[in-house]
């Protein structure tokens, strides 16, 4: 039996969505973020030394990193016929989007979140304008343009493709859901991105997505 070690408001929501799409039985073990630090509880380290979510166990296997989990589930429980053959452009595109979400897009969203937190953190009054100045400058000159570059790219891609890999939903769509949902929730994706908005709305309306939401508990990004 697959066990999903699920942290509230986190990337593990996309694993629940995938398992619901696959109609694969699984159980959920829930973990709650510390409301102050937002970190996962130490008990998650018993499953994997980094103590991050998602992690799944399946029999003797312990699998961390959402890209690896999604790829494992697609190959183990998915429709093998729909998986792209190694060496083809489809296979490269599948792997590209699977790695892209965590490897290229998430780091800039995380940087933005960190600098926003720095600005809002309590600090001596004389340090506040300095911290705000550094955060604003970094945001304007580096992080903001990088995020715009990525969102322009995704917006253009979704203008030409219903799903990331074309006409059919695939594992790559589960993987990109978290950064897009976090971007929408934080107002980073605005009204000027109709393709991203429609794409997210389209998959969030799927019954499997709705079932995953019910099972996963609190998730602020849907
Ligand atoms: N690249 C990893 C990131 C895992 C990760 O950082 N997960 C966050 C939740 S979205 C987490 O566990 N945060 C709690 C913590 O760092 O203590 C993946 O995609 O699985």
Q: Residue 124: its pLDDT value, please?
A: 87
Cβ–ligand 1 distance for 6 under 6 Å, the answer no
Question: Is the beta carbon of 65 within 6 A of some atom in ligand 1?
Answer: yes
What's the CA-to-centroid distance between 40 and ligand 1, angstroms? 8
Angstrom distance (rounded) from CA 80 to CA 75: 6
Indicate whether 63 pLDDT > 90: yes
- pLDDT of amino acid 43: 98
Q: What class is the 2-82+212-216 domain?
A: alpha beta
* Atom number, ligand 1, closest to the C-alpha of residue 67: 19
pLDDT at 65 > cutoff 90: yes
Q: Which atom of ligand 1 is nearest to the CA of 52?
A: 12
- pLDDT higher for 120 or 153? 153
Give the CATH architecture of domain 89-206: Up-down Bundle (1.20)
**Percentage of residues in the chain with pLDDT exceeding 70?**
100
Ligand 1 center–CA 191 separation, angstroms: 28
pLDDT of 118 > 90? The answer is: no
Give start-end residues of each CATH 1.20.1050.10 domain in the chain.
Answer: 89-206
What is the pLDDT, as a whole number, of residue 81? 85
């Amino acid at each position: 039996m697959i066990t999903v070690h699920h942290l509230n408001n986190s990337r593990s929501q996309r694993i629940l969505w995938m398992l619901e799409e696959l109609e694969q039985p699984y159980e959920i073990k829930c973990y709650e973020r510390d409301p102050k630090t937002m970190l996962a509880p130490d008990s998650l380290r018993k499953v994997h030394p980094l103590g991050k979510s998602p992690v799944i166990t399946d029999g003797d296997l312990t699998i961390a990193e959402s890209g690896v989990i999604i790829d494992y589930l697609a190959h183990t429980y998915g429709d093998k016929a729909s998986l792209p053959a190694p060496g083809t452009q489809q296979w490269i595109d599948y792997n590209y989007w699977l790695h892209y979400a965590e490897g290229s897009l998430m780091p800039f969203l995380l940087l933005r979140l960190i600098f926003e937190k720095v600005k809002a953190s309590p600090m001596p009054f004389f340090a506040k304008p300095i911290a705000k100045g550094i955060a604003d400058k970094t945001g304007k000159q580096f992080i903001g343009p990088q995020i715009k570059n990525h969102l322009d790219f995704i917006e253009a891609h979704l203008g030409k493709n219903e799903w990331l890999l074309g006409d059919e939903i695939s594992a790559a769509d589960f993987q990109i859901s978290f950064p897009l949902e976090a971007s929408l929730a934080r107002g980073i994706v605005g009204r000027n991105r109709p393709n991203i908005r429609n794409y997210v709305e389209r998959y969030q309306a799927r019954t499997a997505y709705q079932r995953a939401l019910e099972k996963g508990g609190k998730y602020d990004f849907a």
